[in-house]
Amino acid sequence: MGSGELAVQATRKLSEAQFSELSSVPPEVEWFAKLTNANTRRA
């Protein structure tokens, strides 16, 4: 994986409709969702 190759998965995680709805998620919400510290997320 370190050579720039992409892993191909046989199963889909999102439907086409779910994927198209991702554009409506503000970048700030996505950023805060990735925080692992509960105290920081709560701020």
Query: Which DSSP category does 43 fall into?
Result: -
pLDDT at 3 over 70: no
Q: What 3-state DSSP class applies to 11? A: coil
Claim: this prediction has a pTM higher than 0.85:
no
pLDDT band at 43 (very low <50, low <70, confident <90, very high): low
| Residue among 14, 39, 38 at smallest CA distance from 25 | 14
Cα end-to-end distance, the chain, whole Å = 36
Q: Is 21 left (phi over 0), alpha (psi -120 to 50) or beta?
A: alpha
Q: What 3-state DSSP class applies to 30? A: helix
The 10s digit of each residue's pLDDT in 24-42 is: 888 888 787 777 777 775 6
pLDDT band at 19 (very low <50, low <70, confident <90, very high): confident
pLDDT, the chain, mean: 76
